[in-house]
Amino acid sequence: MKRWLFTLPLFFLVFSQVYTAEALSNHPIHWGFKKGSDGKQAEAGEAYDELLEKYDAFYKGNPEEKVLYLTFDNGYENGYTEKILDILKQEKVPAAFFVTGHYLESAPELAKRMVQEGHIIGNHSWSHPDMTQISEEKIQEELERVKQKTAALTGQTDMQYLRPPRGILSERTLSVAREQGYIHVLWSLAFKDWQTDQQKGWKYAYDNIMRQVHPGAVILLHTVSKDNAEALEQVIQDLKKDGYTFKSLDDFRIQERIQNNDFIF
């Protein structure tokens, strides 16, 4: 059995490896993949790759470049985001923070600081629903409320990156989001870090990141994790020593457009 990122029902592990793109079109996807190791990229499989590409979605970058994209999910504030922002500022590392409505309402000053310090705020929906189970109109409402609240709080009027709540998506939700101007940003490096009552120490977070890291990795961390906050500085410094650089999601999009000859000079 292959190693997968999340603990999923056995039937999903078996059938997810043989889905065709056609079979995936209307099937709710609980995002998962074979983890990266020894510098090799994580792999979700050809069918998933084709489906994401169809809607400009992505979960990893160029396998030939030691570039990393650091992203955080912010469902609620647990006292560690300020330290994370301090470290990012110290190390001059850009990040994307995917926020919910609850986060914007309960931690407005931190949201303002994210934008002031050059980070991107992405959309994680207003109420964190499974978007495969709600209507197109409700999806649009969930996304628009986050966008408008972010703009009012921070001045960031553009919002083009979306991380689906609970990591659940389908071709329908990909399509609806893309029509609203959003690009799904998934991830190729993550671990079980969000359970605040099961933190295991900074070394646990450090080891999980360093074990899975690979060129082009989109790293997902949760800001509620004490382990992440305590490991982050060492992680960044050691990855830099290993030749990695950190870039923003905007850099990813620019590079992708250059490779696809989308720019007119």
Q: CA–CA distance from 155 to each of 5, 91, 167, 188, 238 (Å)?
A: 36, 24, 27, 30, 34
Would you call 222 a catalytic residue per the annotation? yes
Dihedral Cα 97, 102, 107, 113, nearest 10 deg: 30
Catalytic residue among 128, 184, 214, 222: 222
Q: Are 188 and 59 in contact (CB under 8 A)?
A: yes
Query: How far apart are alpha carbons 129 and 170 in whole angstroms?
Result: 14
Query: How far apart are alpha carbons 191 and 211 in whole angstroms?
Result: 11
What DSSP letter does each residue of 180-229 carry, written as one string? TT-EEB--SB--S---GGG---HHHHHHHHHHH--TTBEEEEETT-HHHH
Structure tokens at 15: 């059938």
CA-nearest of 130, 102, 95, 132 to 221 is 95
Catalytic residue among 73, 119, 124, 214: 73
Q: State which H helix or E strand residue 86 sits in.
A: helix 81-91
CA-nearest of 242, 258, 199 to 223 is 199
**Residues noted as catalytic:** 73, 222
